[in-house]
């Protein structure tokens, strides 16, 4: 049984690394060919301290900055968004083992809510970063997130990227 669970953890790591690094073959290559920066949506992010020591919460809003209604699907933040956390040396912070399992499990979320954002309307989300990533006290990190989505039924994909937020873990 232990070997089976170790295999699942390894599989989760390989899948996530492949997804994060963009090595999922032709599908990712076809996505990147039609990926354009979004002129319709904007992500604004802030980082707040949580209630417990060392807890860090990323809060963000996805706002419709266009003049038309925007329709898309929402599942789960770890599936819909890509989070990048770097230390001041530029090294990417890895998820903890528990965080990696949460990321892997998010790939299997099948329920998808239909979301409509009217002009200037926004939707807010949050994630407790310290529950997913290996953040060390006393260090300064830069955090940003991005989302790739299609607003025209899969013909093109837009890349919506947040501002970079700098924070220090106390």
DSSP assignment of 25-56 equals THHHHHHHHTEEE-SSEEEEEEEEE-SSTT-E
Domain 35-168 has CATH 3.40.50.450: no
User: Range with the lowest mean pLDDT among 70-74, 133-137, 153-157?
Assistant: 153-157
C-alpha distances in angstroms, 91 versus 50, 98, 143? Answer: 24, 20, 12
Contact indicator for 149, 72 with CB cutoff of 8 Å: yes
Smallest CA-to-CA distance from 103 within 123, 124, 85 is with 85
Collapsed DSSP state (helix, strand, coil) of residue 151: coil
Domain ranges of the chain: 35-168
Please give the pLDDT value at position 8: 55
Q: How confident is the model at residue 33 (pLDDT cuts 50, 70, 90)?
A: very low
- What digits encode the pLDDT tens for the residues 43-98? 999 999 888 877 899 999 999 999 999 988 888 899 899 999 999 999 999 999 99
Whole-number pLDDT of residue 73: 85
Tell me the average pLDDT across 102-131. Answer: 90
143: Cα separation from own chain's centroid: 11
């Amino acid at each position: 049984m232990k070997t089976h669970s170790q295999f699942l953890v390894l599989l989760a790591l390989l899948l996530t690394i492949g997804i994060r690094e963009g090595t999922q073959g032709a599908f990712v290559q076809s996505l990147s060919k039609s990926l354009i920066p979004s002129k319709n949506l904007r992500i604004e992010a802030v980082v707040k301290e949580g209630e417990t020591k060392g807890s860090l919460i990323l809060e963000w809003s996805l706002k419709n900055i266009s003049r038309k209604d925007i329709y898309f699907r929402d599942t789960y933040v770890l599936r819909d968004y890509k989070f990048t956390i770097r230390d001041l040396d530029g090294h990417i912070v890895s998820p903890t083992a528990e965080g990696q399992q949460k990321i892997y499990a998010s790939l299997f979320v099948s329920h998808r809510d239909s979301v409509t954002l009217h002009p200037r309307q926004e939707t807010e989300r949050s994630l407790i970063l310290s529950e997913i990533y290996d953040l060390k006290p006393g260090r300064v990190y830069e955090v940003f997130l991005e989302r790739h989505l299609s607003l025209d039924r899969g013909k093109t994909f837009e890349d919506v990227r947040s501002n970079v937020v700098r924070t220090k873990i106390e």
